[in-house]
Structure 1
Amino acid sequence: MNRILSHQEEPTRLPEAPASTGITGATPLHGSGPETIHLSEGKYGPHQVMVRSGTSTFVVDEPIGAGGLGAGPSPFDLLSAALGSCALMTMRLYATERVWPLERLVVRVSHDRPTLASRDKFLKEIQIVGDLTNLQRSALLEVAMRCPIHLTVARGSDVETRLLDDSDVSESAVSRASHMRGMLEACKAG
């Protein structure tokens, strides 16, 4: 089932916002260093992966037609979701800080790469609903293009891969709210 969540639909428990942000329900900003995600093979399908972050656990899988069990989003689904959700969250934060009459945001992300050697292409389509001026709409579009995940994808990244011994594998997962820090920085840049 596809469902679009609006900003009015809140999770059951929101952490307190740090005083410096002025935003109710924001994730506390703490720590430095890398965030860590722990991944391991799932038990039920050849492509199923169990993912644990510092705050949640979920399954990644391939669709049934591609040899998976369809138990979760595919890796490219997650990448597109990261790009779209970051844009949406950053626009909402920006509008909330400015007390703009933004009613609803909808983002759709399409991803295409015909071959492994091809350059990836993402299309981010954004619907902004509310009694906003053209200047406010433009500012929201600009901040969406400064969101942390957009910048990560657009700039490219350095990826290092290491082979570990059996004794070196840690099951720890660490979240440090670096995404929230990045969104706050994107909002202040505008």
Structure 2
Amino acid sequence: MSENTPPIDAFAEAILVEETGAGRFQVEAHAGGSIFLVDEPVAFGGLGTGPNPYDLISMALGSCTAMTVRLYAERKQWPLDKVRVRVVHLRGTLKARDTFEREIDLRGGLDEEQRARLIDIAMRCPVHLTLERGADVRTTLAPPDVGTGPDEGGQHKRHMIEACEESLG
């Protein structure tokens, strides 16, 4: 572990993903108290029973953006009625750099200065920063017969709050 690698702490969020045995690609994802299916479209050999992994990355970016913008607007008591985020993932090849096109729709009686500030805050949402910086992935082989389960933590919420702090801007 390098000196820049944070240790796993009490707020770490573990996600458990396991095959269901239905179809070639269908897996069940356990996140916090939720369970949902991830799959590939029928056209690609899946059952089409859930979003694919790239959809999940786009969903993470869009949902983190909406949540972070909402949190900031509430703190400022700004008249934000609704946030909608549309994300399109683009990739040429496995070696090409991915692009996420994000369109943010802010509804409500916001002035131009408030709208601009909320876009600045969106650029600091934790998932945006993760994608922008890149991430290290450490992989280990689990010992046989050891059950692993999802952990419930608050890491993402802590990072959204940090993104909204004025001192970062």
TM-score if structure 2 supplies the norm length? 0.89
Q: Which residue of 1 aligns with 2:151?
A: 174
Counterpart pick for 2:67 among 86, 89, 107: 89
Residue 166 of structure 1 aligns to a residue whose secondary structure is coil
Task: Give the deviation of 1:117 after TM superposition.
Answer: 0.9
Superposition deviation, residue 43 in structure 1: 2.3
Which letter maps to 2:151? V
Q: Which aligned segments of 4 or more residues in structure 1 are displaced greater than 6 angstroms?
A: none
Q: Which residue of 1 aligns with 2:15?
A: 37
What is the total number of aligned residue pairs between the two structures? 159
Which is further off, 169-178 or 88-97? 169-178
Cα offset, 1:164, TM superposition: 2.3
Task: Report the counterpart of residue 80 of structure 1 in structure 2.
Answer: 58
Aligned residue identity for 2:53: P
Q: Are residues 1:156 and 2:95 paired?
A: no
* Secondary structure in structure 2 of the residue aligned to 1:95: helix
Fraction of identical pairs, as percent? 48
Q: Contact 2:12 / 2:154 at 8 angstroms: preserved in 1?
A: no
Q: Which runs of 5+ in 1 are unaligned?
A: 1-30
How far is the alpha carbon of 1:33 from its aligned partner? 4.4
AA matched with 1:55:
G
Letter paired with 2:162: E
- Output the CA distance in 1 between the equivalents of 2:127 and 2:25: 25
- Counterpart among 13, 16, 24 of residue 46 in structure 1: 24
1:183 matched to 2:160? The reply is: yes
- SS of structure 1 residue aligned to 2:151: coil
One-letter code aligned to 2:163: A
Deviations 1:53-99 (Å, cap 9, x if unpaired)?
22211110001111101111000000000001100010011111111
Aligned to 2:107, the other structure's residue is in SS state strand
